[in-house]
Amino acid sequence: MNILLVGAGLSGAVIGRTLAEAGHHCRVIDSRSHPGGNCHTERDADTGVMMHVYGPHIFHTDDAGVWDYVTRFADFVPFQNRVKTTSGGAVHSLPINLLTINQFFGRTLRPDEARAFLETKADTSIADPQNFEEQALRFVGRDLYEAFFKGYTEKQWGCSPTELPASILKRLPVRFNYDDNYFFHRFQGMPRDGYTAMVRAILDHPGITTDLDTPYDPAMAGECDHVFWSGPLDGFFGYGLGRLGYRTLDFERFDHDGDYQGCAVMNYGDREVPYTRITEHKHFSPWETHEKSVCYREYSRAAGPDDIPYYPIRLVREKALLEDYVRLARNTPGVTFVGRLGTYRYLDMDVTIREALDTAAAFLDGAAQGRRPGAFVHAPL
Ligand code: UDP
C-alpha cells in the first residue's frame, strides 16, 4: 500500500518505520524543515550545546518494549532529571521529598514521621478530589500547595487550579525518602546525539521517503491508500467547528559564561515571577563539556492561530468541542489520527511510541485480513 504520514515526529516516524519494514511504501511529510516534532534537538552554533529547541524532553519509561525500540535507533546515556524550584526566596527539591518537607518546615523528620506530619497538614475532609487544587490540598496541604503548585500552575495553565483535572497533579509523586529523581521509571536516559538524530535513524529505511518543508494538501490523500495524521485534530478539519485550546510556550534565550544555575531545570513557584522555569540546556548532556551556557526562560500563554500548540487544555469547553471533532474523525474513513496533536492528549514520549507501535501493528493485522482500516482515534478523555 501507499501510506501518507503527516508529521515527522515520533508518531509518524515509528508508524512509518513499522509499515515500511512490512513492505509498504511510506511518505512522511512535515511542514517544518526538520524531523522530530517538538522533541527536536539541534546543536547551538555559538556554544556547541545540544539545544532542546521546543523545550526539554527527558526520556523515561517502564515499557521494556519501548526502551528496546529507542535503543535500537540511538545510543542512550543514563540521565536522571533532578528538578529544583525557587519559591518564597528559597530553593527546594522537587518532586516533594523528605528533603523538601524537612527544609520547608524546618524539621528533621524520618520517613514515617514525615508521612504522619503531612497528614496533619492535609485536608482529609476531601475524600474524592475533583480538581487539581483539591488533589493538592488533600495530599500535601495548603502550605506546600501554595509554595510550589498554585502559582506555577496558574502561570502554566492560565486558569485557576480548581478548573484543572486532578490527573495533572498525579503526574508528580510525593516521596517520603530522599529520592529526588523526578521520574520513577525503570529506564531513563538521553539520546547521546539528540532526539532528531534518533528520529532520522527511525526514518532511514528504503521504504520511507521523507519530505520536509512540505505542508499537507488535501489532494495528497487521494494519491495514497491511507493517511496517518499526527497534526492537530481540529486542523485536519480546517478548524471548521472552532479551535481546540492549547497552551503555547515562549522561550526567551539568554547566554551565560560558565554555569548559570547548576542544574538543568529550575522551576519558579512564585506567581509574581512571570516565567514558569529556566532550563539550562548543557545540563541535559552532562557527559559533554561546554564553557558557555545557553538558557531558556519559559513563559506559557494561550496559543493563538499562528502559535505552536504545546499542551492540550481539556477544560469543559474543549471537552465538548473535542467530542464533536472525534465524531467527525470517526466518520472519516482512510485516516488514522495519532499522537499528541492528533488525539489532543498530554502524552509523554514513551506513551507516544507505544501507541504508534500498537497502531501500526493493528493496521498491519487489519491489512493482512483484507480489511481496509477505517478512521481510528483513541478514546478522547
Ligand atoms: N507543577 C507545579 N509546580 C512545579 C511543577 C509542576 O505546579 O514546580 C504542576 C503544573 O501544573 C504542571 C504539572 O504539575 O503542569 C505537571 O508537571 P510536569 O513537570 O509533569 O509538567 P511538564 O513536564 O509537562 O512540563
Q: What is the 3-state secondary structure (H, E, C) of 272-305?
A: CCCCCEEEEHHHHCCCCCCCEEEEEEEEEEECCC
Q: Which residues of 173-204 are buried (b: 16+ CB within 10 A; e: fewer)?
A: ebbbeebbbbbeeebbbbbebbbbbbbbbbbe
Strand 84-87 vs strand 265-268: parallel, antiparallel, or unpaired?
parallel
Does 274 sit behind a cis peptide bond, omega within 30 degrees of 0 on the bond before it? Answer: no
Q: For this structure, is 175 an active site residue?
A: yes
> pLDDT at position 172, please?
81
Round to whole Å and give the CA distance between 252 and 281: 13
> pLDDT at position 381, please?
47
Which residue is associated with the grid cell 472525534? 326
DSSP per-residue letters across 26-49: EEEE-SSSSSSGGG-EEE-TTT--
| Catalytic residue (choose from 134, 234, 298, 318) | 298
260 CA → ligand 1 middle, Å: 22
Residue nearest to atom 2 of ligand 1 (CA): 149
> pLDDT at position 168, please?
86
> pLDDT at position 220, please?
95
Q: For this structure, is 247 an active site residue?
A: yes
| Catalytic residue (choose from 27, 138, 175, 345) | 175
> pLDDT at position 312, please?
92
> pLDDT at position 373, please?
64
> pLDDT 10s digit of each residue in the chain, 381 long?
999 999 999 999 999 999 999 999 999 999 999 999 999 999 999 999 999 999 999 999 999 999 999 999 999 999 999 999 999 999 999 999 999 999 999 999 999 999 999 999 999 999 999 999 999 999 999 999 999 999 999 999 999 999 998 888 887 889 999 999 999 999 999 999 999 999 999 999 999 999 999 999 999 999 999 999 999 999 999 999 999 999 999 999 999 999 999 999 999 999 999 999 999 999 999 999 999 999 999 999 999 999 999 999 878 778 899 999 999 999 998 999 999 999 999 899 999 999 999 999 999 998 888 876 666 666 554
For the chain, helix (H) and strand (E) counts, in that order, are 14, 17
Q: For this structure, is 171 an active site residue?
A: yes
Name all domains of the chain by residue range, CATH numbers in brackets.
Answer: 2-42+57-79+192-241+314-368 (3.40.50.720), 94-171 (1.10.3110)
Residue nearest to atom 3 of ligand 1 (CA): 149
Ligand 1 site residues, Cβ closer than 6 angstroms: 85, 94, 148-149, 152-153, 156, 168-169, 171-172, 267, 269
* Total count of residues recorded for the chain: 381
Query: Using CA of residue 200, residue 203, residue 209, residue 213, what is the dihedral sign?
Result: negative
Please report which residue ranges of the chain form alpha helices under DSSP H.
10-21, 64-73, 98-105, 111-121, 132-139, 141-144, 151-157, 166-170, 195-203, 219-222, 233-236, 316-330, 339-342, 349-368
Backbone angles phi, psi at 326, to 5 degrees: -65, -40
CA 149 to ligand 1: nearest atom? 7
Residue nearest to atom 14 of ligand 1 (CA): 169
> pLDDT at position 316, please?
75
> pLDDT at position 376, please?
63
Q: For this structure, is 323 an active site residue?
A: no
